[in-house]
Amino acid sequence: MKSYIAAAVQMTSVPDRQKNLAQAEELIDLAVRQGAELVGLPENFSFMGEENDKLAQGEAIATETEEFIKTMAQRFQITILGGGFPVPVDSTGKVYNTALLIGSNGQELLRYHKVHLFDVNVPDGNTYQESSTVMAGDQLPPVYFSPELGNIGISVCYDVRFPELYRHLSHKGADVMFVPAAFTAFTGKDHWQVLLQARAIENTCYIIAPAQTGLHYARRQTHGHAMIVDPWGTIIADAGEQPGVAIADINPSRLEQVRRQMPSLQHRVF
């Protein structure tokens, strides 16, 4: 694993996927011009709209999104995570919330179907029932072993509240973990940062968390603050509340230093 620059993209996605993909391309270009070799896009980056529209357009969203990620990876010669987009599940009328990691030559490195679905009555008056249109994955997320970028694990949004998933990734050797999200504004203000820091600290790993921000459709509002957290839990990049990118160095010597000073992974009992 070498030292390199990573980017967590922050977007305000809408129901128009052409606008979303154009915005994503601009922000990927911005990240690459700052030296990024590993770029993460947030959950729902290619489409964020009403659930019925998502299902009606599911096939087109899935096809265009996957093609877009592969094109961007090859054009900019980078590794890209498409942090969550709908992929129809045969004859079920539902979709998988799918995260896809693509290498610089356009090849698929990892595919993960989100396992924890956001079925929550948020105290701000909004109700979310992700399971009404999304089928939960039934496999733990995989890890991609890269001699250059380190061992990369992936998750999606609500997963961050389930530490056992990240312990699995850690046990499989992950050095860098993605948490692409569309965190609600209400829960994000209290929980987003502290959960990301906890996942970084307890697994002594880098966390890269692309995010949605702002007002999207109807009353849907997201928290923003795409960030990168180092293995000590220090926030080394924060995109704030506007669309943009959080950029930071991923440094193997920092990873080794923290794991040497705080060897908690070696002290596990259970």
* Average pLDDT in the chain: 96
pLDDT one-digit tens code per residue, 189-212: 999 999 999 999 999 999 999 999
**Residue 80 pLDDT:** 98
User: Containing H/E element for 228?
Assistant: strand 227-229
Phi-psi region of 107 (alpha: psi -120 to 50; beta: other; left: phi over 0): beta
Helix axis angle for 185-203 and 163-171, nearest 10°, is 30
Reduced to 3 states, what is the DSSP secondary structure of residue 136?
coil
**Residue 20 pLDDT:** 98
pLDDT one-digit tens code per residue, 69-96: 999 999 999 999 999 999 999 889 999 9
Is the pLDDT reported for residue 218 higher than 90? no
Do residues 10 and 42 make contact, with C-beta atoms less than 8 angstroms apart?
yes
pLDDT one-digit tens code per residue, 6-34: 999 999 999 999 999 999 999 999 999 99
All domains of the chain in start order, with CATH: 4-267 (3.60.110.10)
| CA–CA gap between residue 95 and residue 131 (Å, rounded) | 10
Do residues 96 and 58 make contact, with C-beta atoms less than 8 angstroms apart?
no
Residues designated catalytic: 43, 114, 157
Q: Where are the alpha helices (DSSP H) in 57-172?
A: 58-76, 163-171
pLDDT one-digit tens code per residue, 234-269: 999 999 999 999 999 999 999 999 999 999 999 999
